[in-house]
Amino acid sequence: MRYMFAREILSRMDSISRVLDAGCGIGYGSAILAEVVGEVDSIDMSEEAEVWHREYFSRSNVNYICDNVITYPYEGRFDAVVCFEFLEHVHEAADAIRTFGKHSDILICSTPNEEVRPHKTPPVNEFHVRHYTPGEFEELLAVGGFEVRHWFAQLDGANPELIPGTDGKFIVAVAAKPGVGM
């Protein structure tokens, strides 16, 4: 649902031709984004995920990179960065956001909402490093020079549609650098 949401946002924007899908996993979302943008660079460290991507989600305008999201030497700029289901998995989230800010002026990203789904409350996801409150998430995005323009939320897995605001188990920020129109 989040990737379809991002696809819709990107399709409404002028001159979005190159997008980075950071922490893309198997790349199913990259295939969705590729429907509306000219080129998607997808990056994830998992070699197993890359195999799945090549088998099921490979597209002519998707470039899958099996490498570290934070330290990879990206070339040029992206019109937007999409980052779902990643930041809660890494200790270096601020470094990731700084990297995104060096290469793009627009960021669409998500995190579990600590106010609704506290990280240490069972069932604990052993692969998550932390969750963020909306305020903490906004501060994190500011590290890369981004300002949140719009908040959206998903109530839970049974209600995956995105609604305006932050009252959900997952929050999605649509952010941009100051002065960038959206």
**Per-residue pLDDT tens for 120-167?**
889 888 999 999 999 999 999 999 999 999 999 998 878 889 999 999
Give the pLDDT band (50/70/90) at residue 1. confident
Percent pLDDT > 90 in the chain is 88
Give me the helix-helix angle, 93-103 and 134-142, nearest 10°: 50
Contact 81, 106 (CB under 8 A): yes
Second-level CATH architecture of 2-176? 3-Layer(aba) Sandwich (3.40)
Residue 35 has pLDDT above 90, yes or no: yes
Q: Parallel, antiparallel, or unpaired: how do β-strands 170-176 and 106-112 relate?
A: antiparallel
CA 156 to chain centre: 18
Specify the pLDDT at position 153: 96
State the average pLDDT for the chain: 95
